[in-house]
Amino acid sequence: MLEITEITCINLKDGLFLKPEYLIHEYISGNKFRKLRYNLLMAKEKGFTKLLTFGGAYSNHVVATAAAGKAFNFETIGIIRGDELATKPLNSSLEYAEKCGMQLKFISRKEYQERHNSKFIDGLKSAFGDFYFIPEGGTNALAVKGCEEILSKEDAEFELICCPVGTGGTIAGIINSSSSHQTVLGFSALKGNFLDKEIAQWTEKNNWELITDYHFGGYAKINSELISFINRFKTDYGIPLDPLYTGKMMYGIVDMMNSGKIDRSTKVLAIHTGGLQGIDGMNFRLKNMNLPQLI
Protein backbone atom coordinates (compact mmCIF):
# COMPACT_ATOMS: atom_id res chain seq x y z
CA MET A 1 0.00 0.00 0.00
CA LEU A 2 1.07 3.55 -0.68
CA GLU A 3 4.12 2.68 -2.75
CA ILE A 4 5.48 5.45 -4.95
CA THR A 5 7.24 4.60 -8.18
CA GLU A 6 10.48 6.41 -8.99
CA ILE A 7 9.91 9.80 -10.62
CA THR A 8 12.30 10.64 -13.48
CA CYS A 9 13.60 14.20 -13.84
CA ILE A 10 12.88 16.19 -17.02
CA ASN A 11 15.54 18.37 -18.68
CA LEU A 12 13.86 21.74 -19.36
CA LYS A 13 16.72 23.90 -20.65
CA ASP A 14 20.38 24.75 -20.03
CA GLY A 15 21.02 23.30 -16.60
CA LEU A 16 17.41 23.46 -15.38
CA PHE A 17 15.69 20.18 -14.56
CA LEU A 18 12.27 19.43 -13.11
CA LYS A 19 11.09 16.53 -10.96
CA PRO A 20 7.42 15.98 -11.90
CA GLU A 21 6.05 14.81 -8.54
CA TYR A 22 2.58 15.73 -9.78
CA LEU A 23 2.66 12.44 -11.67
CA ILE A 24 2.35 10.54 -8.37
CA HIS A 25 -1.43 10.96 -8.29
CA GLU A 26 -4.05 13.22 -9.85
CA TYR A 27 -5.69 14.24 -6.58
CA ILE A 28 -3.29 13.09 -3.86
CA SER A 29 -1.03 15.92 -4.95
CA GLY A 30 2.73 15.11 -5.15
CA ASN A 31 4.06 16.34 -1.86
CA LYS A 32 0.75 15.71 -0.07
CA PHE A 33 1.05 12.01 -0.92
CA ARG A 34 4.58 12.00 0.52
CA LYS A 35 3.34 13.79 3.63
CA LEU A 36 0.40 11.45 4.15
CA ARG A 37 2.22 8.21 3.45
CA TYR A 38 3.82 7.45 6.83
CA ASN A 39 0.88 9.01 8.65
CA LEU A 40 -1.55 6.61 6.99
CA LEU A 41 0.72 3.66 7.69
CA MET A 42 0.85 4.74 11.34
CA ALA A 43 -2.92 5.23 11.47
CA LYS A 44 -3.46 1.72 10.08
CA GLU A 45 -0.92 0.24 12.45
CA LYS A 46 -2.62 1.86 15.42
CA GLY A 47 -6.04 0.68 14.24
CA PHE A 48 -7.60 4.06 13.45
CA THR A 49 -10.44 4.06 10.93
CA LYS A 50 -10.93 7.83 10.76
CA LEU A 51 -8.71 10.74 9.76
CA LEU A 52 -9.42 14.33 10.73
CA THR A 53 -7.64 17.36 9.35
CA PHE A 54 -7.91 21.13 8.81
CA GLY A 55 -7.71 23.36 5.76
CA GLY A 56 -8.90 26.34 3.74
CA ALA A 57 -11.53 26.31 1.02
CA TYR A 58 -9.13 25.31 -1.78
CA SER A 59 -6.67 23.27 0.28
CA ASN A 60 -4.68 20.70 -1.71
CA HIS A 61 -4.11 18.90 1.56
CA VAL A 62 -7.84 18.53 2.32
CA VAL A 63 -8.43 17.18 -1.18
CA ALA A 64 -5.47 14.81 -0.85
CA THR A 65 -6.67 13.54 2.51
CA ALA A 66 -10.18 12.95 1.14
CA ALA A 67 -8.83 11.07 -1.88
CA ALA A 68 -6.39 9.06 0.23
CA GLY A 69 -9.17 8.16 2.66
CA LYS A 70 -11.22 6.81 -0.20
CA ALA A 71 -8.29 4.95 -1.75
CA PHE A 72 -7.02 3.42 1.50
CA ASN A 73 -10.26 2.89 3.41
CA PHE A 74 -10.39 5.60 6.02
CA GLU A 75 -13.35 7.74 6.92
CA THR A 76 -12.30 11.37 6.60
CA ILE A 77 -13.37 14.58 8.30
CA GLY A 78 -12.29 18.00 7.03
CA ILE A 79 -12.57 21.02 9.31
CA ILE A 80 -12.78 23.95 6.89
CA ARG A 81 -11.92 27.60 7.58
CA GLY A 82 -14.90 29.91 7.01
CA ASP A 83 -18.42 29.16 8.20
CA GLU A 84 -19.83 31.31 5.37
CA LEU A 85 -18.80 28.54 2.95
CA ALA A 86 -21.44 26.21 4.33
CA THR A 87 -24.29 28.15 2.72
CA LYS A 88 -22.67 28.52 -0.71
CA PRO A 89 -22.44 25.90 -3.45
CA LEU A 90 -19.21 24.02 -2.76
CA ASN A 91 -16.18 24.94 -4.87
CA SER A 92 -14.67 22.25 -7.07
CA SER A 93 -12.07 21.20 -4.46
CA LEU A 94 -14.56 20.76 -1.62
CA GLU A 95 -17.11 19.18 -3.94
CA TYR A 96 -14.50 16.61 -4.89
CA ALA A 97 -13.57 16.03 -1.24
CA GLU A 98 -17.20 15.44 -0.36
CA LYS A 99 -17.59 13.07 -3.29
CA CYS A 100 -14.72 11.04 -1.86
CA GLY A 101 -16.81 10.66 1.27
CA MET A 102 -15.20 13.36 3.38
CA GLN A 103 -17.45 14.83 6.05
CA LEU A 104 -16.99 18.61 5.97
CA LYS A 105 -17.42 20.83 8.97
CA PHE A 106 -17.22 24.58 8.45
CA ILE A 107 -16.05 26.71 11.34
CA SER A 108 -15.57 30.47 11.71
CA ARG A 109 -12.17 32.02 11.04
CA LYS A 110 -11.96 32.86 14.72
CA GLU A 111 -12.62 29.29 15.83
CA TYR A 112 -10.16 28.09 13.21
CA GLN A 113 -7.38 29.85 15.10
CA GLU A 114 -7.74 27.08 17.69
CA ARG A 115 -6.53 24.47 15.21
CA HIS A 116 -3.21 23.94 17.02
CA ASN A 117 -4.83 23.76 20.43
CA SER A 118 -4.88 20.16 21.67
CA LYS A 119 -7.91 20.78 23.91
CA PHE A 120 -9.87 22.00 20.90
CA ILE A 121 -8.80 18.96 18.89
CA ASP A 122 -9.71 16.59 21.73
CA GLY A 123 -13.08 18.36 21.90
CA LEU A 124 -13.71 17.32 18.31
CA LYS A 125 -13.53 13.70 19.42
CA SER A 126 -16.83 14.01 21.23
CA ALA A 127 -18.43 15.15 17.97
CA PHE A 128 -16.71 12.78 15.56
CA GLY A 129 -15.46 9.83 17.63
CA ASP A 130 -11.82 8.80 17.84
CA PHE A 131 -9.65 9.84 14.88
CA TYR A 132 -6.06 10.01 13.72
CA PHE A 133 -5.22 13.69 13.65
CA ILE A 134 -3.32 15.27 10.77
CA PRO A 135 -2.53 18.98 11.18
CA GLU A 136 -3.28 21.71 8.63
CA GLY A 137 -1.17 21.32 5.49
CA GLY A 138 -0.31 17.82 6.67
CA THR A 139 2.97 18.81 8.29
CA ASN A 140 4.28 16.74 11.20
CA ALA A 141 7.35 14.59 11.84
CA LEU A 142 6.04 11.67 9.75
CA ALA A 143 5.26 14.06 6.90
CA VAL A 144 8.82 15.36 6.94
CA LYS A 145 10.06 11.76 6.92
CA GLY A 146 7.94 11.11 3.81
CA CYS A 147 9.40 14.16 2.08
CA GLU A 148 12.91 12.89 2.77
CA GLU A 149 12.18 10.42 -0.05
CA ILE A 150 11.65 13.11 -2.72
CA LEU A 151 15.36 13.29 -3.58
CA SER A 152 16.98 10.16 -4.93
CA LYS A 153 20.65 9.22 -5.03
CA GLU A 154 20.95 10.38 -8.64
CA ASP A 155 19.87 13.89 -7.61
CA ALA A 156 23.24 14.39 -5.91
CA GLU A 157 24.48 15.82 -9.23
CA PHE A 158 22.37 18.98 -8.75
CA GLU A 159 23.92 21.95 -6.99
CA LEU A 160 20.70 23.78 -6.33
CA ILE A 161 17.37 22.19 -5.37
CA CYS A 162 14.28 24.44 -5.51
CA CYS A 163 10.85 23.82 -4.02
CA PRO A 164 7.79 25.84 -3.05
CA VAL A 165 7.09 26.46 0.65
CA GLY A 166 3.74 26.59 2.44
CA THR A 167 4.08 25.23 5.97
CA GLY A 168 7.70 24.15 5.46
CA GLY A 169 7.34 20.39 5.89
CA THR A 170 8.23 19.53 2.33
CA ILE A 171 11.38 21.61 2.14
CA ALA A 172 12.47 20.29 5.54
CA GLY A 173 12.37 16.73 4.21
CA ILE A 174 14.30 17.78 1.12
CA ILE A 175 16.92 19.56 3.22
CA ASN A 176 17.31 16.54 5.49
CA SER A 177 18.09 14.27 2.56
CA SER A 178 20.22 16.75 0.60
CA SER A 179 24.00 16.52 0.52
CA SER A 180 26.16 19.20 2.08
CA HIS A 181 27.42 20.37 -1.33
CA GLN A 182 23.84 21.17 -2.33
CA THR A 183 21.83 24.28 -1.52
CA VAL A 184 18.06 24.05 -1.10
CA LEU A 185 16.11 27.18 -2.10
CA GLY A 186 12.55 27.50 -0.82
CA PHE A 187 10.13 29.82 -2.61
CA SER A 188 7.60 31.09 -0.13
CA ALA A 189 3.97 31.03 -1.25
CA LEU A 190 3.06 33.16 1.77
CA LYS A 191 3.81 36.70 2.77
CA GLY A 192 5.67 37.24 6.03
CA ASN A 193 8.88 36.25 7.71
CA PHE A 194 7.77 33.46 10.02
CA LEU A 195 8.60 30.55 7.73
CA ASP A 196 12.33 30.39 8.44
CA LYS A 197 11.49 29.38 12.00
CA GLU A 198 8.89 26.85 10.88
CA ILE A 199 11.41 25.15 8.59
CA ALA A 200 14.20 25.25 11.17
CA GLN A 201 12.11 23.27 13.65
CA TRP A 202 12.19 20.22 11.34
CA THR A 203 15.83 20.24 10.31
CA GLU A 204 19.24 20.65 11.88
CA LYS A 205 21.02 21.47 8.64
CA ASN A 206 21.60 24.94 7.29
CA ASN A 207 22.33 24.47 3.60
CA TRP A 208 19.09 26.23 2.71
CA GLU A 209 17.63 29.65 2.09
CA LEU A 210 14.10 31.00 1.90
CA ILE A 211 13.28 33.29 -1.05
CA THR A 212 10.39 35.63 -0.26
CA ASP A 213 10.30 37.76 -3.44
CA TYR A 214 7.81 35.75 -5.43
CA HIS A 215 4.63 35.32 -3.40
CA PHE A 216 2.80 37.85 -5.63
CA GLY A 217 1.20 39.61 -2.67
CA GLY A 218 0.51 36.57 -0.52
CA TYR A 219 -1.09 33.15 -0.42
CA ALA A 220 -3.34 32.45 -3.44
CA LYS A 221 -2.79 36.00 -4.77
CA ILE A 222 -2.36 36.13 -8.52
CA ASN A 223 -1.96 38.67 -11.34
CA SER A 224 -1.99 38.61 -15.12
CA GLU A 225 1.81 38.37 -15.33
CA LEU A 226 1.79 35.12 -13.33
CA ILE A 227 -1.08 33.77 -15.42
CA SER A 228 0.77 34.44 -18.70
CA PHE A 229 3.93 32.88 -17.28
CA ILE A 230 2.10 29.69 -16.27
CA ASN A 231 0.30 29.49 -19.62
CA ARG A 232 3.51 30.10 -21.58
CA PHE A 233 5.32 27.43 -19.54
CA LYS A 234 2.62 24.93 -20.40
CA THR A 235 2.79 25.80 -24.09
CA ASP A 236 6.60 25.68 -24.16
CA TYR A 237 7.20 22.52 -22.11
CA GLY A 238 3.84 20.74 -21.95
CA ILE A 239 4.04 20.93 -18.15
CA PRO A 240 1.17 22.40 -16.13
CA LEU A 241 2.01 24.54 -13.09
CA ASP A 242 -0.39 25.34 -10.29
CA PRO A 243 -1.04 29.01 -9.48
CA LEU A 244 -0.38 28.80 -5.70
CA TYR A 245 2.96 27.07 -5.41
CA THR A 246 4.78 25.64 -8.42
CA GLY A 247 3.87 28.54 -10.75
CA LYS A 248 5.32 31.08 -8.33
CA MET A 249 8.43 28.97 -7.70
CA MET A 250 9.11 28.48 -11.39
CA TYR A 251 8.54 32.18 -12.09
CA GLY A 252 11.09 32.91 -9.37
CA ILE A 253 13.66 30.44 -10.69
CA VAL A 254 13.44 31.80 -14.24
CA ASP A 255 13.64 35.37 -12.94
CA MET A 256 16.71 34.57 -10.82
CA MET A 257 18.37 32.84 -13.77
CA ASN A 258 17.65 35.81 -16.04
CA SER A 259 18.97 38.33 -13.53
CA GLY A 260 22.08 36.28 -12.79
CA LYS A 261 21.17 35.58 -9.15
CA ILE A 262 21.32 31.95 -10.18
CA ASP A 263 24.46 31.43 -12.22
CA ARG A 264 24.01 30.02 -15.73
CA SER A 265 26.46 27.23 -15.04
CA THR A 266 24.55 25.99 -11.96
CA LYS A 267 22.76 22.67 -12.27
CA VAL A 268 19.28 23.31 -10.88
CA LEU A 269 16.53 20.86 -9.92
CA ALA A 270 13.03 22.25 -9.42
CA ILE A 271 10.62 20.04 -7.49
CA HIS A 272 7.13 20.14 -9.02
CA THR A 273 5.10 19.39 -5.91
CA GLY A 274 1.74 19.01 -7.69
CA GLY A 275 -1.32 21.02 -6.70
CA LEU A 276 -2.90 20.84 -10.13
CA GLN A 277 -6.36 20.13 -8.71
CA GLY A 278 -6.45 23.79 -7.65
CA ILE A 279 -6.45 25.13 -11.22
CA ASP A 280 -10.23 24.74 -11.69
CA GLY A 281 -10.98 26.61 -8.48
CA MET A 282 -8.59 29.39 -9.45
CA ASN A 283 -10.16 29.68 -12.91
CA PHE A 284 -13.53 30.13 -11.24
CA ARG A 285 -12.07 32.99 -9.19
CA LEU A 286 -10.29 34.49 -12.21
CA LYS A 287 -13.57 34.68 -14.12
CA ASN A 288 -15.05 36.77 -11.31
CA MET A 289 -11.93 38.96 -11.27
CA ASN A 290 -12.07 39.53 -15.05
CA LEU A 291 -8.62 38.03 -15.50
CA PRO A 292 -7.64 35.55 -18.24
CA GLN A 293 -7.99 31.84 -17.58
CA LEU A 294 -5.23 29.36 -16.88
CA ILE A 295 -5.07 26.98 -19.82
The footprint of ligand PLP (CB under 6 A) covers 29, 31-32, 60-61, 137, 139, 164-171, 242, 245-246, 273-275
Alpha-carbon gap, residue 158 to 162, rounded angstroms: 10
**Which amino acid, 198?**
E
> CA of 3: how far to CAs of 32, 41, 194, 195, in Å?
14, 11, 34, 30
In this structure, are residues 96 and 121 in contact, taking their beta carbons and an 8 Å threshold?
no
Between 20 and 166, CB nearer to ligand PLP: 166
Q: How many helices (H) and strands (E) does the chain have?
A: 11, 10
Q: Give the residue with the Cβ less far from ligand PLP, 7 or 128.
A: 7
Minimum separation from the CB atom of position 171 to ligand PLP (A): 6
Shortest CA distance to 144 belongs to which of 183, 199, 105, 196?
199
* Closest C-alpha among 146, 152, 148 to residue 134: 146
Question: What is the smallest separation between the CB atom of 288 and ligand PLP, expressed in angstroms?
Answer: 23
Task: For the CB of residue 202, give the shortest distance to ligand PLP in the complex, in Å.
Answer: 9
Q: Write out the DSSP string of 231-291.
A: HHHHHHHS----TTTHHHHHHHHHHHHHTTSS-TT--EEEEE---TTHHHHHHHHHHHTT-
List, as one string, the DSSP characters of 196-215: HHHHHTT-S---EEEE-S-S
104 or 175, CB closer to ligand PLP?
175
CB of 252: closest distance to ligand PLP in angstroms? Answer: 13
Q: Could you tell me the smallest distance in angstroms from the CB atom of residue 129 to ligand PLP?
A: 27
CB of 208 to ligand PLP, least distance (A): 12
User: Please, which residue, 76 or 139, has the CB nearer to ligand PLP?
Assistant: 139
Cβ proximity to ligand PLP: between 128 and 234 the closer is 234
Closest-by-Cβ residue to ligand PLP is: 275
Using the minimum distance from each CB to ligand PLP, give the nearer residue, 20 or 164: 164
